[in-house]
A and B are shown apart, each in its own frame.
Chain A
């Protein structure tokens, strides 16, 4: 089963240091090697807002949800169980520290 993990910016806005980048790189490498991590990436803050109404598609630069609600990173993982998804997330937060996120099951077929 696949899960999409999305992270929001951390409440205590500590600047990332070298150490964190290195640990994060190791973690991503390990998760990729074990076949768990399928895709991951960081997201441009904000992005564009798209609205479709009556066949009309509008793209605007705002208004956005509150900055702390915006998604800033994602990871698509393939795991055996919900618990495994949680366990992978736990390790992620052990590296980056405080923060909030969402895990959602991705339905494949």
Chain B
């Protein structure tokens, strides 16, 4: 029989959303509301084992938590007269309308408000996810951490930061309206779908599916559909999740390997969930309006669910839906999926044209499904040589062992059907690259650099590509995708690797022909005009810390990092110098004049201190903390920012100068 603790946990998970929502309305602070609710939970854990589980445990928790909320407001009342009024209001409200939240409508709206606040755009996405699971699903920090394979401490910190942000930004506990509603709702939908996807296609860990998270997301979606019944996208999301979840059992094979949609045993799809998905889509249809991204994705899922066999799939309809989806959501992944659908509906040639347009997209550079889809289309066109190269590339890119085996098998099958094996053409790119890197007389640093270049070429073009078939255009395209935006030195380094490789392999074509050498800008900083410096140093209105730092950088000509790392105990004020690492930083009268004011009697710790004390969670190493003031060492980023701000008015370009520019010309 289950013990009381587990019963308390079950009750809590069923009730926490309503309790926290109700309390938030009372105390106007979601963080405080959650703490009060936690107190009630602790009380239950203490009392129920003795007294037994009450007849209506949810009501018991709510009453206990509310009592604590009133106690809290009374306590605060002594500190703040404004709260007094609030408590009085609360008392009358409690007497007049014994329990306002007993009205189901008010209660439901509170839960909806809680959902909006947990997914508020001021919070980073990860915090929205954690807060939603915590406040709406009643999960503990440990449970959330386990679901996302991260540490409990990190989840606790993330939620504490989120609650602080909500309080600092004074995010109101209300229902958004008008244009804001659409934006806020899409944030809620995004969070729910994120939770679902983390469960459905676990990006990390051993299991491909984590059913717990799928269930949480489904419940949140179903709940939201009840709270916001007039929003088609909500029902679209619910339909999408129900139908995707219906395939859970069929998605993995006996040894845990993924089974692609068209190979799944459709008899194992859960008809109950499919029907629920269809029902949700009927509600979308009744609401009408232009379909949004979730409705379109759900409609595609419906097409698959309606096909009794993979061959029965209505690919024309799916391709049309993808056309619409790609206009709303033009991400590379959606475009790739559209290419697959178009390839099925209108023939491989049409699909290939769309896929080829994506090969230059840097975000898909290492995405194994791109060459995999391309290989499939090429194979259907009878271009087996090229198809095999693509499957080899896909196999080299995937991180999933089962998937790699599947792709290698496809490549091997194609090799068997073709007579034009690479051997007939002579050496392959992969073999040549290996020989090139293995030859004698290559120093390790160069070899390492060359290996990076050739690895990228092999991944992008395929190890099995015959060396003789390579063109300068292909190489230029790989370079544009991989290093188009990289620094000139990086570009030139890879370019010289290709030149060296071309010369070594004695190729007829110059593979680097399409690669221009890029001009490398000297990273040297231009010193600031002395006249500007005079103006800057004459500004006594600025803080002494900034003035001392700038003077010292200018007079010592030392590195910024070295100067910021100085400690008070390193200073030799009489000789106007300080030791840092193996060098001396020396200064002249300007700095010497300012230093006593900056030190203000300090005898140890970092010379330049930040304005504030660090938060407990971000405590730096002891050496970067002032033992007397508790403040941390001034960071390069902050110092640089302050200098930029201060020098903006002096800089003709308006951008402001960098600290390195304080160093005078040698």
Contact = CB atoms under 8 A, between A and B. Distances in A.
A53 interface: no
Interface string A86-109: 111000001000000000000011
A31 B89 CA distance: 33
Contacts of B57: 87
B272 interface: yes
B2 interface: yes
Nearest to A86: B2
Interface stretch (B4-12, B363-371, B415-423, B593-601): B4-12
A82 B1 CA distance: 10
Contacts of A76: 272
A39 B271 CA distance: 12
A80 B14 CA distance: 10
Given A33-B226, A84-B13, A78 B2 contact: no
B272 A38 contact: yes
Contact of B219 (A35, A88, A94): A35
Interface in B184-236: 212, 215, 218-223, 226-227
A34 to B, nearest CB: 6
B268 interface: yes
Contact of B268 (A26, A84, A109): A109
Contact of B10 (A38, A78, A83, A94): A83
B10 A36 contact: no
B538 interface: no
A60 interface: no
Contacts of B219: 34-36
B179 interface: no
A10 interface: no
A32 B14 CA distance: 13
A83 B222 contact: no
Interface residues of B, number: 28
Interface in B251-277: 268, 270, 272, 276
Most chain B beta carbons < 10 A, residue from A39, A76, A80: A80
Contacts of A108: 249, 270
A78 B272 CA distance: 12
Interface string A19-52: 0000000100000111110110000000000000
Contact of A82 (B2, B220, B226): B2
A108 to B, nearest CB: 7
Interface string B279-296: 000000000000000000
B2 A35 contact: no
A58 B254 CA distance: 37
Nearest to A34: B223
A35 B234 CA distance: 14
A109 B211 CA distance: 12
Given A33-B223, A38-B272, A109-B249, A87 B14 contact: yes
B10 A84 contact: yes
A86 B272 contact: no
Contacts of B104: 26
Given A38-B276, A87-B7, A33 B222 contact: yes
A35 B6 CA distance: 21
Contacts of B2: 82-83, 86
B248 interface: yes
A23 to B, nearest CB: 12
A39 B275 CA distance: 11
Contacts of B218: 35, 78
B61 to A, nearest CB: 12
Interface residues of A, number: 21
Most chain B beta carbons < 10 A, residue from A38, A78, A83, A88: A83
Given A33-B226, A38-B272, A38-B276, A80 B215 contact: yes
A38 B276 CA distance: 9
Nearest to A83: B10
Given A83-B6, A109-B248, A34 B222 contact: yes
Interface string B36-69: 0000000000000000000111000000000000
Nearest to B138: A80
A81 to B, nearest CB: 6
Most chain A beta carbons < 10 A, residue from B57, B218, B272: B272
B268 A87 contact: no
A98 B519 CA distance: 87
Nearest to A87: B10
Given A84-B13, A108-B249, A78 B7 contact: no
Interface string B455-492: 00000000000000000000000000000000000000
A14 B223 CA distance: 34
Given A35-B221, A35-B222, A80 B212 contact: yes
B222 A86 contact: no
B452 to A, nearest CB: 45
Interface string B1-37: 0100011011101100000000000000000000000
Contacts of A82: 2
Most chain A beta carbons < 10 A, residue from B6, B10, B268, B276: B10
A76 to B, nearest CB: 8
Contacts of B272: 38-39, 76
Contacts of B7: 83, 86-87
Contacts of B212: 80
A91 to B, nearest CB: 8
Interface in B305-353: none
B9 to A, nearest CB: 7
A63 B2 CA distance: 37
Most chain A beta carbons < 10 A, residue from B6, B221, B270, B276: B6
Interface string A64-85: 0000000000001010111110
Interface of B: 2, 6-7, 9-11, 13-14, 55-57, 104, 212, 215, 218-223, 226-227, 248-249, 268, 270, 272, 276
8 contacts: A35-B220, A81-B9, A81-B10, A82-B2, A83-B10, A87-B10, A88-B14, A109-B268
Given A33-B227, A83-B2, 20 more contacts: A33-B226, A34-B14, A34-B219, A34-B223, A34-B226, A36-B219, A78-B215, A80-B212, A81-B6, A81-B9, A83-B9, A83-B10, A84-B10, A86-B7, A86-B10, A87-B7, A87-B10, A87-B57, A94-B56, A109-B248
